[in-house]
Chains A and B, each alone.
Chain A
Amino acid sequence: RKEVEQDPGPFNVPEGATVAFNCTYSNSASQSFFWYRQDCRKEPKLLMSVYSSGNEDGRFTAQLNRASQYISLLIRDSKLSDSATYLCVVNRDGNQFYFGTGTSLTVIP
């Protein structure tokens, strides 16, 4: 079983829409959680860390459910510039980060 599983999409949404991505992780000992975005043929860039209490950064909201081993990312008021692949990342033992395969988002004018 994969450490991190994501719906690969693609998600095609109109500008201004709200879109949610989900991610599950297999190991309950996982300790820290992140969302990264990756533009085509570029490196992953940190979008936000995910905290147990949930956290928000502008139009982006991340939630963590440890009981269900589930992480989510909500994007409100989608912009064209949000088009990218969103990677769910889990860290278990301090040194190894496990990446999902990514969810592709295209925001349509």
Chain B
Amino acid sequence: ETGVTQSPTHLIKTRGQQVTLRCSSQSGHNTVSWYQQALGQGPQFIFQYYREEENGRGNFPPRFSGLQFPNYSSELNVNALELDDSALYLCASTPGQGYEQYFGPGTRLTVT
């Protein structure tokens, strides 16, 4: 096990609603990244947090936002949910930039 945990494991939301997903990073890892993985695709980078600051962002709209806390845990918030937001959301922690990333089990979000 990687030591990265995510909650909840599954979630069903309605279009237009908001959702918050949570991640606890592996002990000693100060960098957390979030990914969206649609069925049959590789994970797509959403953003990364390093020491509570956003440290890079992929091609996702502003309704995807995040936070990192002093204990390095993190949240992903998605506003105004769309059907295409249905995916597996993965959190990954790393001991430093450029190093290998360790993934949590993911949150499977379904938007109806």
The CA of A99 and the CA of B42, in the complex, are separated in Å by 6
The CA of A109 and the CA of B65, in the complex, are separated in Å by 46
A46 touches B100 (CB 8 A): yes
A95 touches B42 (CB 8 A): no
CB < 8 Å neighbour of B100 from A4, A34, A94, A98: A34
CB < 8 Å neighbour of B97 from A45, A46, A94: A94
The CA of A31 and the CA of B48, in the complex, are separated in Å by 17
Sorting the interface of chain B by its residue count into under 10, 10 to 19, 20 to 34 or 35 or more gives 20 to 34
The total of chain A residues at the interface (CB under 8 A) is 23
**Is B72 part of the binding interface, using a Cβ–Cβ cutoff of 8 Å?**
no
Cβ contacts A16-39/B at 8 Å (1 or 0 each): 000000000000000110100000
Chain A, residue nearest B49 (CB): A95
**Is B104 part of the binding interface, using a Cβ–Cβ cutoff of 8 Å?**
yes
A42 touches B105 (CB 8 A): yes
B105 touches A95 (CB 8 A): no
The CA of A101 and the CA of B40, in the complex, are separated in Å by 7
B42 touches A91 (CB 8 A): no
**Is A93 part of the binding interface, using a Cβ–Cβ cutoff of 8 Å?**
yes
Q: Which of A57-99 contact B (CB under 8 A)?
A: 87, 91, 93-99
A95 and B48 contact, Cβ closer than 8 Å, known pairs A31-B98, A43-B103? yes
B101 touches A97 (CB 8 A): yes
CB < 8 Å neighbour of B56 from A44, A45, A93: A93
A95 and B50 contact, Cβ closer than 8 Å, known pairs A44-B90, A101-B41, A102-B42? yes
B50 touches A44 (CB 8 A): no
Cβ contacts B30-71/A at 8 Å (1 or 0 each): 010101000011111100101000011010000000000000
Using a CB–CB distance below 8 Å, which chain A residues touch chain B?
Answer: 4, 31-32, 34, 41-46, 49, 87, 91, 93-102
Using a CB–CB distance below 8 Å, which chain B residues touch chain A?
Answer: 2, 31, 33, 35, 40-45, 48, 50, 55-56, 58, 88, 90, 92, 97-106
